[in-house]
Structure 1
């Protein structure tokens, strides 16, 4: 497709759309949601799946030494590293609560340390974390351990310790290398730090080094982004997440520290996206959907090719587990037929732990309809095709097919005998196609607040 034609499609489909890390999406979850309800679902899924497939663990480590103003994550800004000990004590107590109620020894298939800045924690404390997580648990033979790191503070000691613990994948938040952009988002990160962190990880033995890039940041311009992508391509990270900056100052107060006039216009932001995408694909990165690019040797690319790609709250993954347990403040868990989220404020999280309670404050139990349409959305995101079931066909006819029909003329999808397939063009608009199976959103379209979701581009 010619660049100007693609840009026109991007403009047409640049609408507020969920990122579909879950279905139903978090705004439809309800509170209060009791820990007892969650644990019942959790135990059922654990009993059915732990021994043969294992579980996934997500650990949220929320601390950062400085505020990156663009960031929409749950974080706590501090330079006081004594918080590490207090937080680790709470995490251990939370994990013991799960182990006590699950009964059998958990088999950990996938483990991810996210943030915040996980490398805020000392190497010794990351080792301590892994020791208590593995006490009374075992690692699956095919376990994948991964961590998010900050290039400025990920040391050789961090990397050596993590490698010894079994970590083989690390993701660095690069975002943008332009100094003007770095200053306004308060993330001063020289290229030499990115190079050092990358080469050290590979020297020590990490087999997958991934970068996050963001387009649409304040003061970002085309030449600067192109320079960033050129430097990134030269380092050949195995995977690249090329995210759209989500400007949501109503939920992320740090974004109020700069003027919205500093943001690229809609047309400028689209140009940034188109340029970055074209540079990455020209350099040999495959667009596997939902902002993610991978080199052909990477397991994520191979999973996309053979139809085994999976998606959960940690993003795209090659691991298939039915149960994801999230530990730490704001973490989200998934038991297939139920979701649960921990308290978002540290004080509330600590208070629940001290009372010997799981710190659940919000969640959702999926209906049979939800389960089916969640499968459709996962198939859109991971397989690029959907085969329709006979169940809830009336819902499909009334809500989904009219929405899908609107995408047909733009060659984003094609009808098959009993479903749809996403075209090569459509792979760039996965969120928009997934939206066609979001029955909650389609039913309540007129009532959706304008500021609920970020723009697709």
Structure 2
């Protein structure tokens, strides 16, 4: 377990590196008009060969989970479904108009918000449109995020009929006091029921999202949570650090006084990791675990693992289009984010404009740094050629990490040690020019530990 001094030293705000550069460091030199040109170029260079993936943001939730840092809209009015679905389809049509062929579709991920806020009928309208306008690749992968409380058998059957085989359920914690504090009440019996329904409907990969560092969590309460997880044994586990950013998400202030301190929080993770390994899970990378023979583990062992805004993936596709409000697109040579506000998003779609409000055009150095960061995040090593010329400050930081046994330097390059894996975000940050001498009154990122 990392010692107290290392935790204190390195528990600082750093990016999660689902992208490089991280979103707060984008240069915003892309607008709606130029975005279509960048997309056409990226598709011509990369999309024809490996296909494209779609992330579709469905922002609505019926109630607010106070820990949540996602872009969401709270409402019980389900009449919002069809107008929103219509806007997403129109956005997709704008991309199709830039192509002279049906694109090859490598993947779909429905995220939110709560995708299962939408009825099976509403989801069918959207998915039928995507189905008839694309050609699936041989290794396509369709997944969605489900809320255990409102994911019905009809949802599962509908999505399975469209080829969905993966589902991720936001569990977070099974302890009643923790659930009350974060306003996410879901009994174990309900989670068991929806897990069994998913398997019955042919979902061959079920993921549970768990969070450590939540209010009122202790080793005793988490032991009970992990015992219940062991009863259901999902194929994958995402064991995330709670990101406390109350300046951005004011609802988080409601439980600040009940949060564990940084050492207690790290102890929760290390013990949770031990429990997962005792159940047979293997660590894939930062925050992710899977049972043996899972495709992510195989990709890790073969050093073919990738990482994007949806986390770790086996998909070779380098084009991820984000549809819906606040969705982020990664077309390798550039990033773009849609308008966050639902009304603003729909207004731009009605006007026939891509709803891009910020973006980043990758320079040569950006791409080199991106490849290095992804190599460290996915494979925990990098060659000297990958590292390139290093300035004195970076060499000093590498030497410090080496003396603390967080990494190993040899004639081949850099390897992150088992002791250093909890600090991989810190290691990545020393190669990030945007993180040097950063000074902000308001933290842009969650803390590393």
Q: Is residue 351 from structure 1 mapped to residue 342 from structure 2 by the alignment?
A: no
Kept in 2: contact 1:32–1:361 (CA 8 A): no
Alpha carbons of structure 1 residues 279 and 369: separation in structure 2 relative to 1, 3 Å: same
Please state how far the C-alpha of 1:44 moved relative to its aligned partner. 1.0
Please state how far the C-alpha of 1:9 moved relative to its aligned partner. 4.1
Kept in 1: contact 2:104–2:137 (CA 8 A): yes
Kept in 2: contact 1:7–1:274 (CA 8 A): no
Please state how far the C-alpha of 1:367 moved relative to its aligned partner. 1.2
Within 5 A, what are the aligned runs for 1:237-252?
Answer: 237-252=234-249
Selected match of 1:436 from 406, 427, 430: 430
Q: Is residue 198 from structure 1 mapped to residue 195 from structure 2 by the alignment?
A: yes
Kept in 1: contact 2:29–2:360 (CA 8 A): no
Kept in 1: contact 2:27–2:361 (CA 8 A): no
Selected match of 2:12 from 2, 11, 15: 15
Selected match of 1:401 from 395, 398, 406: 395
Greater CA deviation, 401-410 or 129-138? 401-410
1:106 maps to what in 2?
Answer: 103
Whole-angstrom CA distance in 2 between matches of 1:162 and 1:386: 40
Please state how far the C-alpha of 1:113 moved relative to its aligned partner. 0.5
TM-score for both structures, normalised by structure 2: 0.96
Q: What is the SS of the residue equivalent to 2:445?
A: coil
Within 5 A, what are the aligned runs for 1:34-45?
Answer: 34-45=31-42
Q: Is residue 423 from structure 1 mapped to residue 420 from structure 2 by the alignment?
A: no
Unaligned 5+ segments in structure 2 are: none
Kept in 2: contact 1:289–1:428 (CA 8 A): no
1:229-263: CA deviation from partner (whole Å, max 9, x where unpaired): 1211221111111111111111112213x142121
Within 5 A, what are the aligned runs for 1:314-333?
Answer: 314-333=310-329
Length, aligned pairs only: 449
Whole-angstrom CA distance in 1 between matches of 2:225 and 2:94: 45
Q: Is residue 60 from structure 1 mapped to residue 52 from structure 2 by the alignment?
A: no
Please state how far the C-alpha of 1:369 moved relative to its aligned partner. 0.7
Please state how far the C-alpha of 1:78 moved relative to its aligned partner. 0.5
Q: Is residue 172 from structure 1 mapped to residue 164 from structure 2 by the alignment?
A: no
Kept in 2: contact 1:342–1:359 (CA 8 A): yes
Within 5 A, what are the aligned runs for 1:31-430?
Answer: 31=28, 33-256=30-253, 258-389=254-385, 393-394=388-389, 396-430=390-424
Please state how far the C-alpha of 1:206 moved relative to its aligned partner. 0.7
Q: What is the SS of the residue equivalent to 2:358?
A: strand
Q: What is the SS of the residue equivalent to 1:414?
A: strand
TM-score for both structures, normalised by structure 1: 0.95
CA RMSD of aligned residues (A): 1.7
Greater CA deviation, 132-141 or 162-171? 132-141
Whole-angstrom CA distance in 2 between matches of 1:298 and 1:38: 36
Whole-angstrom CA distance in 1 between matches of 2:136 and 2:18: 25
Please state how far the C-alpha of 1:174 moved relative to its aligned partner. 0.3
Unaligned 5+ segments in structure 1 are: none
Please state how far the C-alpha of 1:438 moved relative to its aligned partner. 1.2
